[in-house]
Amino acid sequence: MRIAAAVIVAGLLAITTSSARGAELHAERSLYRNIIVYEDDGIRCMKFGRQASGRQTCMSVTDRDRLVFDYTRMMMAALYLNPAPRRVLIIGLGGGTLPSALQKILPAAKIDAVEIDPAVVRVAEKYFGFVRGPQTEVFEEDGRVFVKRMQKQRTRYDLVLLDAFDHEYIPEHLLTREFLLEVRGLLSARGVLAANTFASSRLYHFESATYFSAFGDFYRLKRSNRVILVREGALPDRGELARNAEVVEGKLTPFGVGKEWLLPLFEVESGWPPSTRVLTDQYSPSNLLHGPS
């Protein structure tokens, strides 16, 4: 009986291990990172590395339009600052969630998506259904290099989304005041910047001070992540936010985004103590500070 029980337990362990392995759809080591794609309970995700946390993209297999992460829904709040951007820049592709959604929400907009890792682009297309629309172009290069080139070409964007992450956090050179000022140089007269950051980390106040030094006051929306929103010129007041929310409500509903959830999340962050050091190209120790607070 003990032998039989041991065999049963061993069999159950084998089945569990096999099931866990079966959920892994793809694994590869690219030039930049380990890329894992797995599926669990109808949700398909991409992550960089084999750590338990740190998913870069998740998608509902049965409802691909629905935005799974809070942060992706909060990034759509950028349309409350400018409901009709004509040219969009997205830095960081992941599974293509943001460009896929914006292609449908803004079919006339020209979208430039920048992703440093060609393997991520391939995985987005094969496993997450990312298809480049007729107005979408993907650039396989470093985001900051792309921004500098667009500066030289005097390109202007109505909406810029910053969503570049490695297996730990945002790359250091995409966190600094110099980089944010370069991005600001790409914004049109009423251009909007939306940035995905962590809601709780030892970098939180450093990032806040850095964004404030580059843009002044900004809106932030915070759940599991913090999304920072700025607009060239001046931030819209609550009345304008509500009016713009009405304009785009019908377009966002299919993606699981609504004004009743989004509007209450808007809060203004303003000013930081002089003792909070601004992140710069000379001082950006995110490798030491990115962890939980």
Q: Are 90 and 57 in contact (CB under 8 A)?
A: no
Q: What is the token pair recorded at 251?
A: 């377009």
The active-site residue out of 40, 163, 166, 281 is 163
**What is the C-alpha to C-alpha distance for residues 289 and 194, in angstroms, rounded to an integer?**
22
Residues 6 or more apart whose CB falls under 8 angstroms from that of 240 comprise none
d(CA 101, CA 50): 28
What count of other Cβ atoms lies within 10 Å of the Cβ of residue 288? 8
Q: Residue 254: what residue type?
A: P
pLDDT truncated to tens, each residue of the chain (293 aa)? 443 443 333 333 333 333 343 389 999 999 999 999 999 999 999 999 876 556 889 999 999 999 999 999 999 999 999 999 999 999 999 999 999 999 999 999 999 999 999 999 999 999 999 999 999 999 999 999 999 999 999 999 999 999 999 878 899 999 999 999 999 999 999 999 999 999 988 889 999 999 999 999 999 999 989 999 999 999 999 999 999 999 999 999 999 999 999 999 999 999 888 889 999 999 877 655 555 55
- How many residues in total does the chain contain? 293
pLDDT of residue 275: 86
User: What's phi and psi for 43, nearest 5 deg?
Assistant: -115, 125
Which whole-number Å values give the CA distances from 96 to 103, 146, 162, 198, in the listed order? 11, 18, 13, 20
For residue 17, how many other CB atoms are within 10 A of its CB? 10
CA dist 49 and 1 (Å) reads 42
12: which DSSP letter?
A: H
pTM over 0.85? The answer is yes
Residue whose tokens read 């500098």: 148
**pLDDT at res. 290:** 55
> Is 237 annotated in the active site?
no
Q: How far is CA 118 from the centre of its chain?
A: 18
The domain 70-289 having CATH identifier 3.40.50.150: the answer here is: yes
Question: Residue with structure tokens 């910047």?
Answer: 193
Distances (CA, A) of 198 to 69, 80, 112, 163, 272: 13, 21, 24, 11, 18
Give residues with Cβ within 8 angstroms of 187, minimum separation 6. Answer: 156, 157, 158, 160, 193, 232
